[in-house]
Structure 1
Amino acid sequence: MLTRQRKELLLARLHQDGQIVAKSLSEELGLSEDTIRRDLRELASEGLLKRVHGGALPASPALGTFAERQRISSDAKPAIARAAAAMIEPGQVVFIDGGTTAVQLARALPPELRCTVVTHSPSVAVELVEHAHVEVILIGGRLFKHSIVAMGPSALEAIAQIRTDIYFMGACSLHPQSGVSTGDFDEAGIKRAISGMAQRTVLLASPEKLDTASPYQIVPLAQLSAIIVNRDTPDELVAPYRGMGIGVTRA
């Protein structure tokens, strides 16, 4: 079998099964495990999948640019945002992450809501300018242009001083085995710090993020209080999280 044919087969099986186990597939195809692993490494370098121990998982399309991500799941994100907004109680201090779904969450806040929103996203902060009863605390630092959020030591220092009731986390990927992950090492650390200061962490999981993996883990699944998904999400995709005791809200 030619290299091109093997790679096409690997991508087809990944699409069909949602994962590749190198050892099992090598036995099935009569190929060496080293050959399968080499093909997976090359496909990963092209951004077509995510290498994990023993095989591969789908790569997240949420690793694209901010403008590209705005066009993904454009119908699902406002619904997820409205469900998240409904979780906020008057007087709470909440942290809204950066990203396209987080911007939709800011837009979904009721105009009469009285609360404090902490964010390191200038995009989220600007959306809240007209909310007369929402106090906005904007955390500064170096601008990470992929997600349009502040990062760096000054951001981490500020985050460590604020305890929040809920952290609405955006992420590139969510998978039952790989947990919550993103495509940037420093961004993973920032999100981990925010989650560590929150009583509850709620993940905003638009459809393209489910059953995918990105290079850097943010938090283990046990740290999630709830996940908000689109109402059309198949039961088999959310069943593993319910089995772990994580609340799943369909929007």
Structure 2
Amino acid sequence: MNPLRGTHLALFDEPLIASLREDLALALRAAAHFGLGEGVCNHFSVAVPGSEHFLLNPRGLMWEEVGAQDIVIIDGQGRILAGRHEVEPTAMFIHGAVHRITGKLCVLHTHMPYATALTLTTARGLDTTLSQNAMRFHGRTALDEHYNGFALDAREGERIALAMGDADIVFLGNHGVVVCGERIDYAFDDLYYLERACAAEILARTSGLPLAPSTPAIAQAVCEQASGERLQSELFFQALRRKLVG
């Protein structure tokens, strides 16, 4: 049993917590499988519905080695409530603020290569009128153009959360991205396809050929189509569970 700090796990819905831990660990391992991780940095979190508590991957573990038993539960002040590992300060400040201010249940923060590359440009983010994958994010992204260094205090986490506004995704200038969702499988699906869309845009731009964007109206229609039918997201996550967990 994991050591408990400050409260008792029985205060939570234990089957729900067990399921969230398994899904969060799977999302981390899947992200590592696709090369979206960065050493022992970056974090995924999911809120416990109806509380200020959230689950988070621990400090010091690479994503491919994270199991359900490694997931930590912390409260809105960053206190560890359950888990056998420590948490990294920037994770507490960014994820705590995004959960609290935006109300998002699932928060995935990465420095994945292609999305991060776009944050280094003057555009700061994805052109959502180019590829079909990009169009699923039309009207769902925000740009935070003001990089302020590591998020080592509550103010920086709150600034990032406020920059996100009502968007599901925020591109953090000179930094990385935050992808949010109401379910872990949906958020992971968005994370995966966001990186694919960013990769396609960068490859197209490096070809030197003129780009051929679609119209905002078509992009909006595709976004609505993708958002209105999420079975593919569920099936993808189930397939990843079969592949990575067995």
- TM-score, normalised on structure 2? 0.28
User: Which structure: greater helix fraction?
Assistant: 2
More strand by share: 1
Bigger relative contact order, structure 1 or 2 (CA pairs below 8 A, ≥6 apart): 2
Task: Say which one has the larger Rg.
Answer: 1
